[in-house]
Chain A
Amino acid sequence: MVARVAGVFDEKLTEAIANSKILVVGAGGIGCEILKNLVLTGFPYIEIIDLDTIDVSNLNRQFLFHKEHVGKSKAQVAKDSALSFNPSVNIIAHHDSVISNDYGVNYFKQFNMVMNALDNRVARNHVNRMCLAANIPLIETGTAGYAGQVELIQKGQTQCYECQPKAPQKSFPGCTIRNTPSEPIHCIVWAKHLFNQLFGEEDPDQDVSPDTADPEAAGDAGASALRTEGTEAGNVERKSTRAWASETNYDPEKLFSKLFGDDIRYLLSMENLWKKRRPPTPLTWNNLPGKGNPTAQHSGLPDQRVWSMHECAQVFGDSCKALQADLKNRPEGDHLVWDKDEKSAMDFVTACANIRAHIFNIPLKSRFEIKSMAGNIIPAIATANAIVAGLAVLRAQNLLKGETRACTSVYLRPKVNHRGQLFVPEKTLTAPNPKCYVCASKPEVALACNLKQLTLKDLNAAFKDGLNMQAPDAVVEGKGLVVLSSEPGETDHNNEKTLEEIGLNDGSALVVDDFLQNYEVRVILQQKDEEKSWRLVTDPDIPMPGPKEEKPANGSNGADEPKPGPSCSKEDSDSDMEIIEEDDTGEPAPKPPKRRKVGMNNEIVDLC
């Protein structure tokens, strides 16, 4: 097409396009636009991968999809639609996860470049490593709302996706969630934990009952007295919430009385907590505010109306019953997965979050707002995606012409800067971080932990969550002792042993590698008595990710990204953004564009 029309491009570019093979990862908002641009420009061979299926909320921007495609494979439908623009192009669609043994380094090596149009950090990390290992250029893109960016990642010449540690995660201490919420998001996180306790995958770190180990409550005679009583009275606190709910047959009134009555009274008994805070007010099922009140006049969307306590309790009851029925219909041992697009699941979280908010005198939110925060929805529009994808393909053309040094990062700003610029290019490529634990020639990172407490199972989690590995193997440097193996079962018998027990000490080095990512890193252990879990350290001044990167929270600033990882497909899978710049004041910022690694917002629930 254009590339083949003499006179549009110079001969060099025309030829480079004609001989190119491009891999597009992601067929969402940006992916659809990139695919269209490539096909129209005449790129002859394109492969596109996406594991997702089409949802109605995609249709405002993912223009290769129409209503009749809802539920179908994004990659496949994108291919079919794009082929109608130029039937002579060869497109291969993969309805699949890019994180798979099927797409190894040799698979990546067959392409001239990879264009990322992803929505989550885990996949971005993975593709970053695959492109570094295959030594092929990667064009990385993202948008959030009006903002977006395009950047080139080229081994040895630019920063890689992981050169700059991501900003620290927004974290909420477990005791804030369980004992002393002060913001709507605390109640929403609690409500999602409650969902999992009752219907989802039980996670001991997502306990929703009062946390008696709260250091603030220490020395609280009243609480300890009451705790003893509680134990004698049947140990309600120690029994799993699920088991208890099941025994009561998920009776809404009983659940309500425990969660929003008894548990709150228990919290009140921890008097130290309320010396400087406004104490919560327990609620009674039969006497809720808003009963009998007519629904107030409301002009917005039905979902934008804030429910009364009485309505919340009704919705709580109805959704409990619906979710219980759903759970019952599943095979023994199966559980529900919270999904913002499942009506009952969303109703349940809205009702519970608001009831808890009311109890703690925190402003209530509408279902619409809670959906954004709980589902981590990033607003997305057609135009920003179109602009970013257009810039990405123009950058791809630069690259094919051999103009790598000209391929600087470009930022689409939500508003023009002080120089009137809406698209702001960097002046030069950003050099790699020599200490990067991914792209340095000899990657190295320190792991601070308490060797007396950290188990091999925890260590495995640290490599997966902290170093973004898929299947780590770890060997003690110089000794050849295998401490972790990616072969199923091979090192499982050591899972519960601490690092000290298997003979590791302060300063011990592990060689950790991930076969699929073709990635190896030297990990030096640092003994830290006070460390409760683990923490990665590259530069003592830069905060690094810690454990338990939980589901994302607080989508209100649009800077958030869905939780990466397999469970992420259930999160908001159609946002396309990693980084944005935010002008709090709405005034043009008098500084150059600054790459801001937004901390993907994953809240961490610390145990306190």
Chain B
Amino acid sequence: MVENNGVELSEAEAEQYDRQIRLWGLESQKRIRSSKVLIIGLSGLGAEIAKNIILSGVKSVCLLDNEKLKETDLHSQFLAPSDKIGENRAETSLQRARALNPMVEVTAETKAVEALPDSYFGTFDVVCATGLKQEQLERINNICRDKTNKFLCGDVWGMFGYMFADLFDHEYSEEIVQHKAVKRGPDDSEKNARETVTINVKRRAIYVPLQNALSADWTKPELRSRLRRGDPSYFVMKILLRFRDEYNRNPDPAKRKSDTEILLRMRDELVKELNLPVGFVSDAILTDVFGIVAGAAAVVGGVIGQEVVKAVSQREPPHNNMFFFNPVKCVGFVELYGQ
């Protein structure tokens, strides 16, 4: 996918990216530098993802959003100036986004996702979508599949968050450190110096589309056994995506009481539908899903940003295929769904 186009890094780039080149290597940095990323949804989460990706030094980032900046955005969206309420979220974010790293080309697109043709989404190496409905996510995911491009999506509701990745057929290299004994002298019997040797192993991961992951069959024993782990994050995500699909918005802090009732009702329906143990999805976890809490946006945006870097640099194993952040226990974990 992302071709390392053979262009050498400039001295300025080598200097600015020094600390990360020392981590992921020059080849990765060159691949990052030639990749084009689309970020959909400039909420606090979108801003976090944009920051991380722009700092990493990609070729270009396009910020796509047709929504207007609201006051509640300012509690997590640090790219939009606070005096620009009512203006387009992507456009108002441009100036600060560009200032993060002038070596990256940052643009804005203010059209709605529905108003853009399939071909539009195919022009990016990676599409990273937030704040969309399931149907919109699946449409873009399928366009990316056709083009064999990388697709990621995620959301933060309150303190809870998730990420999904479909990297299609992904090849990557993984660095493995081995220790080996080295003989120095011809008769160096007393002490063999141990040297660490790093080798790169080529690996491949096959992904499934979002609709498979979201329609995982919980009657299957292999999935059923996951319930023993006791983490309800997958279901919390399902409930919140359904809420968005049904009400065309996220749970609103100003309607905390009535929206909580809706959420609990949707929870009960889902529990029945999937035949989950009663109480598996606690009331407590559905109380912290209002607005976007800055700390949680930083956490989930950090994970998604890193997955985009892994996807374009083809270095280190990317998560396959869902990540959840459960704020109750402060645990973040990866599970594979839909395969």
A→B interface (CB under 8 Å)? 1-2, 5-10, 33, 36-37, 40-42, 56-57, 59-61, 63, 66-67, 84-87, 145-146, 182-183, 276-278, 300-301, 303-304, 361-362, 372, 377-387, 389-395, 397, 408, 410, 415-416, 419-425, 556-558, 574, 582, 584-586
Contact = CB atoms under 8 A, between A and B. Distances in A.
A422 B252 contact: no
B218 to A, nearest CB: 18
Contacts of A2: 75-76, 291, 293-294
A188 B323 CA distance: 43
Contact of B75 (A41, A300, A301, A415): A41
B184 A182 contact: yes
Contact of A278 (B23, B188, B332): B188
B317 A422 contact: no
A394 B72 contact: no
B259 to A, nearest CB: 9
Contacts of A362: 184
Given A57-B16, A59-B16, A421-B332, A390 B78 contact: no
B186 interface: yes
Interface of B: 8-9, 14-23, 26, 44, 48, 51-52, 55-57, 72, 74-76, 78, 81-82, 99-102, 158-159, 174-179, 184-191, 193, 195-196, 229, 252-256, 287, 290-291, 293-299, 301-303, 305-306, 309, 316-317, 319, 323, 325, 327, 329-335
Contacts of B81: 84
A556 B196 CA distance: 9
B19 A381 contact: yes
A57 B290 contact: no
Contact of A382 (B55, B196, B334): B55
B96 to A, nearest CB: 8
Given A5-B253, A60-B19, A393-B294, 5 more contacts: A6-B254, A7-B252, A60-B17, A362-B184, A390-B297
Contacts of B174: 586
B52 A7 contact: no
Given A393-B295, A416-B319, A276 B16 contact: no
A1 B16 contact: no
Given A381-B23, A393-B295, A276 B187 contact: yes
14 contacts: A1-B75, A40-B44, A61-B20, A183-B195, A301-B9, A377-B18, A382-B302, A384-B302, A390-B299, A394-B159, A394-B296, A415-B317, A423-B325, A584-B179
A157 B186 CA distance: 57
B26 A586 contact: no
B19 A390 contact: no
Contact of B305 (A56, A383, A410): A383
B23 A85 contact: no
A296 B294 CA distance: 51
Contacts of B302: 382-387, 390
- Nearest first, the 10 A-B pairs at minimum CB distance are A7-B253, A390-B298, A423-B332, A379-B23, A2-B75, A386-B302, A278-B185, A390-B299, A387-B302, A40-B294
Contacts of B252: 7
Contacts of A278: 184-186, 188
B79 to A, nearest CB: 9
Contacts of B52: 382-383, 386
Contacts of B158: 8
B16 A422 contact: no
B20 A42 contact: no
Contacts of B298: 33, 36-37, 386-387, 389-390, 393
B178 to A, nearest CB: 8
Nearest to B18: A57
Contacts of A394: 159, 293, 295-296, 299, 327, 330
Contacts of A421: 331-334
A37 B295 contact: yes
Contact of A387 (B15, B299, B317): B299
Contacts of B327: 394
A60 B303 contact: no
A489 B83 CA distance: 59
A362 B78 CA distance: 51
A77 B51 CA distance: 18
A423 B330 contact: yes
A582 B196 CA distance: 13
Given A6-B253, A33-B298, A60 B55 contact: yes
A3 to B, nearest CB: 8
B15 A61 contact: no
Contacts of A60: 16-20, 55-57
Nearest to B291: A8
Given A57-B19, A145-B23, A586 B294 contact: no
Nearest to A278: B185
A470 to B, nearest CB: 30
B188 A276 contact: yes
